[in-house]
Structure 1
């Protein structure tokens, strides 16, 4: 697992901007971040660009544990960023909610 370390909190927007079971891409400090709203209510955040061929990870299909890149169906674990199909890992970001929406934390 690789994480970005900048020691800051970023407010991304309202949770309702992301439909349940889908993802949205956000630009944060020059990085594209895909944030997913899981059906169980949790959030996950990973790099928004597939390391294989630059696919838009935020547009991928998700379940409670993985995201599938929409271009070539490579599978990535949402908690660790590790690929189950032999690709380099995605970066994983700490994301949570407060009363005002989605927060991405970097330490």
Structure 2
């Protein structure tokens, strides 16, 4: 089965503070975007599968995000939990030459 992804323009990268996350609604789906200290961006589902915690409000580094409610951690590249929870969705994203972040859903 082939899955078609659509690229969506979300925001200027300047709207994402370095080292933090923000939640955006993209095509009806809540997505957490993170701008890493290295300058790269990551996009994952916005709610923790454990109890719906706001992942954009969690602690983030280059590899993982930690849910602020119960400290469950998720790999930003694979979505796999490092603390035994169900995985989260990871969405391809990038910053264009125009400085805008786009996400594929």
TM-score of the pair, normalised by structure 2: 0.92
2:74 to 76, 99, 102: 76
Give the drift of 1:71.
Answer: 0.3
Q: Which runs of 5+ in 2 are unaligned?
A: none
Q: Work out which structure has the larger RCO, using CA pairs closer than 8 Å and 6 or more positions apart in sequence.
A: 1
Corresponding residue of 1:25: 23
Structural mapping, 1:10-49, within 5 Å:
10-49=8-47
Corresponding residue of 2:51: 53
Corresponding residue of 2:83: 85
Cα pair distance change 1:41/1:100, threshold 3 Å: closer
For this pair of structures, how many residues does the alignment match?
102
SS in structure 2 at match of 1:80: coil
Moved more, 32-41 or 6-15: 6-15
TM-score of the pair, normalised by structure 1: 0.91
**Which segments of structure 1 move beyond 2 Å, counting only runs of 4 or more?**
none
